Amino acid sequence: MSLFRNGEKAYLLLADGQVFEGRSFGAKGTVVGEVVFTTGVTGFQETLTDPSYYGQIVTQTFPLIGNYGINSEDNESAKSYVSGYIVREWCEEPSNFRCEGNVNDFLKEHNIIGIWNIDTRRLTRIIREVGVMNGVITTDDVYSRKEELLTKIKEFTVRDAVKSVTNTETLKYEPEEKKYRVVLFDFGYKRNIRQELVKRGCEVIVVPAYTTAEEVKALAPDGIMFSNGPGDPAENTEIIANIREIQQLGIPIFGICLGHQLMALANGGKTEKLKYGHRGANQPVIDMESGLTYVTSQNHGYAVIGESISPEIGHVSHINANDKTCEGIRYTGVNAFTVQFHPEAHGGPLDTSYLFDEFITRMKKGDD
């Protein structure tokens, strides 16, 4: 595929005024969002359909995206939640026996504005050095609208993220042989979390993000899963208050990503925004109990401050091997454990699936 194929011009404008000129793919128009990068070599379709990317313009650091195409089975949700998409090069003619289309057609179908043929290595360096910043992708002439667009960039912030992605209905998914019932909170959950539970014999009831303790109790679950999701965890004050009551039900709880952060906030912990976050399928995490280091898949811009968790409440169980940030907490006062990374995403590829097995074990003990 030639980098010089015909295509309409597109521009990326960053909050500091820098402009990247490239080519348009996907939808046309103008979009504002938080510019982030992810280091995954594969998994671009999972990235595009992960609700945790709500409000963000995603940069792929790997230079060629889409060589194995798009298929209908690998979506993590029913639609794409990214605000915009940035790649160095995209593959027009993918080759894979499961391929049903290319990434350009996928972006058009979901009305996602993309830009390609820019220096993504330079862009990634800027984000690493300065930190994540807002930006605009546009197929209009950026120079004639620069001041107007910079004002939009300055005013933009990701708000009401969980409220924007959660389902308002309660949905049920049955395994072939039911052993347990799990209530899965939809803070913007990835389908593979549900699938990992179903294949272990769990009937999964997916509930809206604002479901109360009383409503959970009425469903009589054996376990509760707090899912991943987008945005600043601290803005979810209603959900945090609900979690304080839900954890008192005594039902085993497993939290992932945003679910990990919300659980910490409900127990007096604090969160912080990272300079450029952890996004990709190659994040090293140390299990403090075993001493083993696992390769994990991650997607988050916030982290729990490990020191903010009182020893009487719980302890940090996992840390990031690169920056030593908190990657997991085991609680002592309530029956719960949480992790920042995604064990359902198979980064190792199966390294951290033991966490789902531990969740099953905790539910099994509840039956004894």
How far apart are the C-alpha atoms of 208 and 185, rounded to whole Å? 6
* Residue 6: per-residue pLDDT: 56
Q: Going residue by residue through the chain (368 aa), what tens digit of pLDDT does each one get?
A: 444 455 699 999 999 999 999 999 999 999 999 999 999 999 999 999 999 999 999 999 999 999 999 999 999 999 999 999 999 999 999 999 999 999 999 999 999 999 999 999 999 999 999 999 999 999 999 999 999 999 999 999 999 999 999 999 999 999 999 999 999 999 999 999 999 999 999 999 999 999 999 999 999 999 999 999 999 999 999 999 999 999 999 999 999 999 999 999 999 999 999 999 999 999 999 999 999 999 999 999 999 999 999 999 999 999 999 999 999 999 998 999 999 999 998 777 778 989 999 999 999 986 65
**Hey, what CATH topology would domain 9-158 get?**
Glucose Oxidase; domain 1 (3.50.30)
How far apart are the C-alpha atoms of 269 and 287, rounded to whole Å? 20
Rg (CA), the chain: 21
Query: What size, in residues, is the chain?
Result: 368
Please tell me which residue in 260, 278, 300, 342 is annotated as part of the active site. Answer: 342
Is-catalytic flag, 196? no
* Residue 345: per-residue pLDDT: 87
How far apart are the C-alpha atoms of 78 and 304, rounded to whole Å? 29
Please tell me which residue in 257, 278, 326, 327 is annotated as part of the active site. Answer: 257
Give domain limits for the chain: 9-158, 162-367
- Write the CA distances from 196 to 192, 229, 352, 353, integer angstroms: 6, 17, 12, 9
Token digits for 38?
């992810």
How far apart are the C-alpha atoms of 79 and 296, rounded to whole Å? 24
CATH number for the domain whose boundaries are 162-367: 3.40.50.880
The two domains 9-158 and 162-367 share their CATH topology (first three levels equal)? no
277: left (phi over 0), alpha (psi -120 to 50) or beta: left
Is-catalytic flag, 326? no
* Residue 260: per-residue pLDDT: 98
How far apart are the C-alpha atoms of 38 and 116, rounded to whole Å? 15
Q: How far apart are the first and last CA of the chain?
A: 60
How far apart are the C-alpha atoms of 150 and 173, rounded to whole Å? 45
Is-catalytic flag, 342? yes
